[in-house]
Structure 1
Amino acid sequence: MAKKPVVKDDSCVELPEGLIALAYNRDGHLLARTHPKGDKLYFNLEPEELRYARVFVMPEPPKGLEPKSLAAAERLQAYEPTIRLGKKNEIDISRVPDQLVQRWWWYRCCTQGRVTKRFLIDGSWQDMPLCNALVHICEVDPFLRLVPLVPDHILDRFRDILLERIPIPIPYPIIDPPLFEEQPLPLPPRPFARLASQELRSIGGQPIQQQAASLATINLPQEVRLQLNNASAEQMRKLIVDQRAVFMPYLCLWPMFWPWFYRCDEITTVRTDFNGRFEACFWQQIFEEKADLYFWVEYEIHGELTTVYKPPIPCYTHWNYECGKEVNIRVTDPRVPMGCFEPLAGEVAWVKTIGWGAQVSHIEQQLAASISQQGRTFRTAGLTRYATSGLGYGLANKHVRPFASNLALVVQFGSGFPSGNVTHYRWSYRKTHNDKLISASVSDQQWAPLDTRTMSKAYTIEVTSGVITTFQTQHFPMGPFPIGSEHGYKIPPVSPKGADVANNPTAEWNQNTVTMIVDTTSLKGDGLYEFKLEFFNAAGVRQNVADTVNQISNPANIGESQPANSAYLLSAGEDSFRPFRMKVRVDNQKSTATIYNVEVDGRASSTECGFVKYNDKASSDVNFRIRASHPNDFATFSFNVARGNSSDPLVSADTGGMVIGSTSNYTLGADDIYRNKVKVATLLGTCPDKAAFAEHLHVDGLHTNGTSILNSFDASDLAAFALEPV
């Protein structure tokens, strides 16, 4: 950009050199661009189109960085002329203010940071880097710029909530401590309590806590509360601006207001390296306020870019960002696998996980294995102990979870593959036992190949236009391909950069490979299965590999591999090649939850109104009956009884455990019904002679696909009753 000053006199106006003018339509899309000729603009647009456009004049940004959207143009220190067309459809821009021209200078601002996820490794939590994650960097509109544009009815609703005239809206689940420290704002008195019972069922990382609404009062300063009561719409806008330190933390918790008070535009994207680090630069005008930056992250899951980190914009914006300041992003999404893996040396097939979290080495392989639970024997063959640390009922780190739905079989191949002898692989399966662990039929125990599902491996390449670098996801087809008389899948090379994949020096992919996705509902019913991994050459001839080729994770340290032991290899008596084999328990059956009407002195509570009469407060019993079950006991349950609005726990009426046997307070009968008796006096508590009660039963299926817990196998029931004397 040239640096001539603006000179104005009665005869002419001289504008700086190096300006550009951009025209946008009402929808915010860029229509045309041009450079001024003197103090006039000439666009290649029809008059009818230009008359309704919005035009912005500014110094031409560095190549490729001109604002593509209307919102981006509005953010800049640009001049927006009034659209009055001359005889040649020109627009006069001779009225550019001097003070605006003085702001027309550019400087480069750079940001850097790291993306990690926390994993439990060898008994301790460690932050592991996420490589090749796509980080989106966005700029948030200044708060003060948008407040004048908020409609009156939105301001009225915001005021009514702050003054508690209408219920407090349920907030967005907040993940990790919000970045309030990034803005000079105090935390509000928390109107939302963090409750242990509201913990989300997180897989593969630390638990995600969900914010639950409580009845706490919003503690606004008295002076602000008084002004809110009587403020007009304009006074309300001024009050929000003047007292933004008071209001912004509350806005963070209420998503319904975000579209009105916050706007975010993407300025660039960047990939993380093998240390999880990223850096990017963007241009700003020298007198513009410091940028307010927001970051969100995508990661390739099953070959598709998937959003894994996108927290609330107002809670996680880095306000007044200092160029060069380190940004730390911790992903908690359960689908994201651990860390970034360097290539393995040699001919290795490290069979890592089912899904992105269920370590193969944590799946019980002994057919006779069992645990004792609630006085019963529970057989654990083929079950995983993945994500059991928070189950309770003595089930922590026990093999109790079956597999269901679609299972991704994840393998990391070493640099020695593909080789001249080994170019393809194939998975096969057989059913060895039914869902009751009784031997399957002879026909079911025959091996069947998994060779019909199309598989590919995703990789990314960089695409540069000007100074902007973007990323494209492409796919390397793995098969199935005919090899001789068989069908198999190509082993992907250690790097996608070569001519056999991308032929591009910027190509990258994760060293982990989803080698097969198994739809368990298409197998031969629920039961215990074995999955076998075999290797072939290009002619379709099966290859014998050393036992040390097949590896699994060290059960005590999942970041290390070790040769698969005999439990994971077929015996030489059955197959002289001793291929890799793993046992997996499959179950796709749902749980059951039923609350039956209570009975007191031979009377059952009415289904319609729920009232039941008792004879004597001291001697009458309330008989509770519930059904919490699963055909193969793959579930836990909790049952709670609440009196009125009281928060006092009715311990003698509550229970929980695995659906396998009797629990505290409740006895499981042969008809799969849990029963318990509680004295009327105990339930009434401080209530004189009558009270109403709510019953809640939730049955949690233990099923997993190795990436998440499958809530679709849960069941629940609600009921209510009221006690009154005869």
Structure 2
Amino acid sequence: MISDVYRHYKSGTSTYASYHVGPLPIDGPDPAPKPNLFRIHPAVSPSGQEWYVLDERVDLATAYFHTHLLMGAPSGPLPADDLAAGRYEIRLELFDTAGNLVNWTNAGIDLKVPTVPAPFGTGDVHADHADPYNRILAADGKTLGFRMVVRVDNNRCQADVHPVGGTVTPDALCGFHNYGSPGDTATLSFMARHPNNFATYAFSTVRGDGPELAVAGTSGTVGDGGHNAFVPAGAFQYAKPISVSALLGPCPNAAFSELLTVGATATDGYSTLSGYNMTDHAAFALAKPCPSCGQP
């Protein structure tokens, strides 16, 4: 947590100046008593005018935890697994101007946490005294700080639509499959992967220009048991054999498109990290072979 933190305040009639909160330098004209300290900004700004929240990500930030820089975090275009994924303990401690650790109990500082999970929305939010789990305690049971455990997971999703299988003729290269009877099956399958299952998936199949075929679509959480008869067929793999008649409907021959979207559930505190999502698509055709087609 080494990035600078600032607060904005009004300075004059049309200027909003920034106030450096930390981390504070330990040398210079106004050195901090020890490294990595952050100011609690004063009730009154340097100009004597109001503090302003111009940007929530700046003016309400306590510190910036750059999880993508952790040892083992994935980098580059390949979807390598995040070896740094896991739970991390973050501590909030208070120090006086001499750099001494403050005993919250002795100082009369209370510690409360919300009783409802975030995001809070527009309803009332109540807080209650924090449990010992969230407290950094001294040997005598007095509170020395706040302990928060967060889960970090920067894994990228993976999505892969597989070639059609089943009893229709195989054609992984061009995707053009012949069938002998409407009772033949075309097995649709795909991979929706997130190493720790923190993702959802949606798979759909469209004949021609649509709509989506209910029999050939599914959605769920990565790693779960599957839905709509798409069952696990290996690690993060799902498959379903579907009759040719159910896919063709009124058509003797038809072309299809398949779309798979895998979306990460990780957030940055404001919104999901959509850059970790992955999609894949494929196309195939089903056709009844011509009886002779002019062949001798």
Q: TM-score, normalised by structure 2?
A: 0.80
Checking the alignment, whether the CA contact within 8 Å between 1:638 and 1:655 is kept in structure 2 is: yes
- For residues 74-122 of structure 1, give each alpha carbon's deviation from its aligned partner in whole angstroms, at most 9, with x where no partner exists: xxxxxxxxxxxxxxxxxxxxxxxxxxxxxxxxxxxxxxxxxxxxxxxxx
CA distance in 2, matches of 1:638, 1:539: 56
1:532 aligned to 2:95? no
Contact between 1:591 and 1:635, CA under 8 Å: does it hold in 2? Answer: yes
Matches within 5 A, 1:12-91: none
| Structure 2 residue identity aligned to 1:604 | P
Give the deviation of 1:514 after TM superposition: 1.6
CA contact (8 A) 1:642 1:694 kept: yes
Gaps of 5+ in 1: 1-449, 464-470
Q: Residue type matched to 1:698 in 2?
A: T
Equivalent in the alignment of 2:260: 697
Which residue does the alignment assign to 1:472?
Answer: 15
> Would you say the 8 A contact 1:548–1:564 is kept in 2?
no
- Of 10, 22, 39, the match for 1:490: 39
Q: How many Å separate the matches in 1 of 2:34 and 2:109?
A: 28
Could you report, residue by residue, the CA deviation over 1:144-175 in whole angstroms, capped at 9, with x for unpaired residues? xxxxxxxxxxxxxxxxxxxxxxxxxxxxxxxx
1:623/1:544 CA distance change after superposition, 3 Å? same
What does 1:252-651 align with in structure 2 at a 5 Å threshold?
450=1, 452-463=2-13, 471-481=14-24, 482=26, 483-496=32-45, 501-502=46-47, 504=48, 506-510=49-53, 513-524=60-71, 525-546=84-105, 549-555=110-116, 559-572=125-138, 577-601=143-167, 603-608=169-174, 610-617=175-182, 619-647=183-211, 649-651=212-214
Q: Residue 681 of structure 1 is aligned with which of 245, 254, 273?
A: 245
Determine if contact 1:701/1:714 at 8 Å carries over to the other structure.
Answer: yes
CA contact (8 A) 1:637 1:657 kept: yes
Secondary structure at the aligned position of 1:535 is classed as coil
Once the two structures are TM-superposed, the CA of residue 607 in structure 1 deviates from its matched residue by: 2.5
The 1:507–1:672 alpha-carbon spacing in structure 2 relative to 1, beyond 3 Å, is closer
How big is the alpha-carbon RMSD for the aligned residues of Structure 1 and Structure 2? 2.3
Deviation at 1:460, TM superposition (A): 2.2
User: How far apart in 2 are the matches of 1:574 and 1:585?
Assistant: 30
Q: Is the 8 A contact 1:635 1:659 kept in 2?
A: yes
Q: CA shift at 1:507, angstroms?
A: 3.5
TM-score, scaled relative to structure 1: 0.34
1:722 aligned residue: 285
1:571 to 1:652, Cα distance in 2 relative to 1, 3 A:
farther
SS in 1 for 2:61: strand
Q: How many residues align?
A: 259
Distance (whole Å) between structure 2 residues aligned to residue 513 and residue 550 of structure 1: 19
| 1:472 positional shift | 1.2
* SS in structure 2 of the partner of residue 477 of structure 1: strand
How many angstroms apart in 1 are the aligned matches of 2:124 and 2:223? 31
1:495/1:509 contact within 8 Å kept: no
One-letter amino acid of the counterpart of residue 678, structure 1: I
Structure 2: gaps of 5 or more residues: 27-31, 72-83, 118-122, 290-296
- 1:692/1:513 Cα in 2 relative to 1: closer, same or farther (>3 Å)? closer
Q: Cα 1:651–1:573, aligned 2, differ >3 Å: closer, same or farther?
A: farther
User: For 1:695, what is the secondary structure of its paired residue?
Assistant: strand
CA distance 1:671–1:515, shift in 2 (3 Å): closer
Counterpart Cα distance in 1 of 2:124 and 2:70: 29
Residue of structure 1 aligned with 2:230, choices 666, 672, 676: 666
Distance (Å, rounded) in 1 between the aligned partners of 2:36 and 2:286: 69
Aligned equivalents of 1:600 and 1:627: distance in 2?
17
Cα 1:601–1:697 change in 2 (3 A) is: same
Q: Is the contact between residue 553 and residue 561 of structure 1 (CA under 8 Å) also seen in structure 2?
A: yes
Separation in structure 2 between the aligned mates of residue 571 and residue 605 of structure 1, nearest angstrom: 65
| CA distance in 2: counterparts of 1:631 and 1:558, whole angstroms | 37
- Indicate the larger mover: 547-556 or 621-630: 547-556
Tell me how far 1:478 sits from its aligned partner: 1.4
Residue 545 of structure 1 aligns with an amino acid whose one-letter code is W
State the 1:509 CA deviation: 2.5
Distance in 1 separating the partners of 2:255 and 2:189: 17
Q: Given the alignment of the two structures, is residue 652 of structure 1 paired with residue 215 of structure 2, yes or no? A: yes
Amino acid at match of 1:565: D
Aligned equivalents of 1:645, 1:574: Cα separation in 2: 71
Question: Hey, what does 2:293 align to over in structure 1?
Answer: none
Q: Which amino acid is 2:176 matched to?
A: F
By how many angstroms is 1:645 displaced? 1.9
1:570 Cα offset (Å):
2.9
